Amino acid sequence: MSTATAQPPSTERREAAAEAASQAKRLRMLDVVFEARAFIALAVLIIVFTLLSDTFLTVTNVITMTKHVAINGILALGMLLVILKGGIDLSVGSIVGLSGVVAGELLGGVTLFGVIAYPPVWVVILVAIAVGTFVGAINGILVTRFNVAPFIATLGMLYVARGAALLISDGETYPNLGGDEELGNTGFDWLGTGKVLGIPVSIYLLVILAAVITVLIRKAPFGRWLYATGGNERAAELSGVPVRSVKARVYMISGACAALSGLIIASELTSAAPQAGETFELNAIAAVVIGGAALSGGRGNVRGTLVGAFVIGFLADGLVNLGVSTFWQIAIKGAVIVLAVVLDQGQQRFKKRGAAAAAAAQTAPPKA
């Protein structure tokens, strides 16, 4: 006489469940390694360059390299917001050059109603940043109002901003931005060469900006809207997120960050060239991607972006310190960018496999 009592799971099913749980654990460990890839890359660079050069890890050189990192780091923080939204901003390099030219034009005197006016430095800085923000606003309008693809919109503004810089300057460099004490427009060089407690001002600006953006994306509603828009724009819109406003704002912030980087460069060199900032957009994108952000949007953070900026900066300065050819530097930097994207895609595949393995382990029958 047969009974309907439940039979214990077979040995094969128990072994399959154990294998699924083991695979899920291994994939989780691999995911942790992928998440820390930027930190690992930075540590490897520091170790390798320290072994190859006695001057690489000296205090003076580290401060100098961090000062260089600050310029790209500020650019990358603005780019992070755009990429979190699922967009791209190719115009930031041209905004770097345009903001420097605007500063040079204002410091050289502006003719108003037949009178030459020399605005103070703080006015020059605000106007230059406003110009960068304005270019970013145009990017935002093209993307949100006219539905132009971000790549095309910002590529177009790359040429527009660069052309504007060349037109304003007639293609020439502004050689002396030190100002004149009698005119009351001195002090611009402090932005790029000034120090507080032995630390360059640009590094403080990077830290402050990083803190502000961290609070913005982690504590403010704007941050939740930003991640939601980048993760699934349609779902975010149906949930009441002001998607258009979020898009426009990130491009404006990116433009302002690019203008600030341009001002730091012009201040450090006490000169402004319309060609400044060429290919800087690629360095900013590389820093964000190396830091773990997804180009598709919805994933990334300030910490990773800063580490990515340090990887790019330390790699470039380390190669210069070793006397590596500029051509090789460009090739190596390109290879690093490609590797970062490949690793990001690999991480996503491992995450999907890990989720599937975890689901299989949870749905497997318990051991008898």
* pLDDT at 1 > cutoff 50: no
Q: How confident is the model at residue 24 (pLDDT cuts 50, 70, 90)?
A: low
Min mean pLDDT across 182-191, 251-260, 315-324 is at 182-191
Greater confidence (228 vs 334) lies with: 228
* pLDDT at 333 > cutoff 60: yes
* pLDDT at 298 > cutoff 70: yes
Q: How confident is the model at residue 114 (pLDDT cuts 50, 70, 90)?
A: confident
Q: Which residue has the tokens 């401060």?
A: 63
**CA-based nearest residue to 188, from 254, 110, 112, 272:** 272
Whether residue 33 is contained in a domain is answered as no
pLDDT at 83: 96
91 Cα distance to chain centroid: 13
Whether residue 367 is contained in a domain is answered as no
Q: Which of 57-66, 174-183, 185-194, 338-347 has the highest mean pLDDT?
A: 57-66
Q: What is the mean pLDDT of residues 222-247?
A: 94
Q: What is the mean pLDDT of residues 5-18?
A: 61
pTM above 0.85, yes or no: yes
pLDDT in tens, 131-162: 999 999 999 999 999 999 999 999 999 999 99
pLDDT at 180: 82
Q: What is the dihedral of CA 297, 301, 306, 312, to 10 degrees?
A: -30
Q: What is the mean pLDDT of residues 103-123?
A: 87
* pLDDT at 21 > cutoff 80: no
* pLDDT at 275 > cutoff 60: yes
Min mean pLDDT across 80-89, 172-181, 259-268 is at 172-181
* CA 62 – CA 72 distance, rounded (Å): 16
Q: What is the mean pLDDT of residues 263-286?
A: 94
Whether residue 6 is contained in a domain is answered as no
pLDDT at 344: 76
Number of domains in the chain: 1
* pLDDT at 19 > cutoff 70: no
Q: What is the mean pLDDT of residues 361-365?
A: 58
Dihedral sign for Cα 187, 189, 192, 198, please: negative
Phi, psi of 194 (to 5 degrees): -70, 155
Q: What is the mean pLDDT of residues 106-126?
A: 88
* pLDDT at 20 > cutoff 70: no
CATH number reported for the structural domain that contains residue 55 in this entry: 1.10.3470
219, two tokens: 């504590």
* pLDDT at 308 > cutoff 70: yes
% of the chain beyond a pLDDT of 90: 65
Q: Give yes or no for a contact between 243 and 224, defined as CB atoms under 8 angstroms apart.
A: no
Q: What is the mean pLDDT of residues 292-298?
A: 88
Phi, psi of 199 (to 5 degrees): -105, 130
Whether residue 359 is contained in a domain is answered as no
Whether residue 27 is contained in a domain is answered as no
The residues, any chain, with a CB within 8 Å of residue 298's CB and separated by 6 or more, are: 84, 86, 227, 228, 230, 231, 232
Q: How confident is the model at residue 342 (pLDDT cuts 50, 70, 90)?
A: confident
Whether residue 1 is contained in a domain is answered as no
The residues, any chain, with a CB within 8 Å of residue 354's CB and separated by 6 or more, are: 24, 27, 28, 30, 31
* CA 341 – CA 336 distance, rounded (Å): 9
* CA 208 – CA 258 distance, rounded (Å): 15
* pLDDT at 360 > cutoff 70: no
pLDDT at 335: 87
* CA 189 – CA 174 distance, rounded (Å): 14
pLDDT at 340: 80
Q: How confident is the model at residue 227 (pLDDT cuts 50, 70, 90)?
A: very high
Whether residue 63 is contained in a domain is answered as yes
* CA 168 – CA 172 distance, rounded (Å): 9
Q: What is the mean pLDDT of residues 67-73?
A: 96
Angle 326-363/280-290 helices, nearest 10 degrees? 30
Q: Which domain holds residue 87?
A: 38-343
Whether residue 360 is contained in a domain is answered as no
Min mean pLDDT across 39-43, 99-103, 163-167 is at 39-43
pLDDT in tens, 96-106: 999 999 999 99
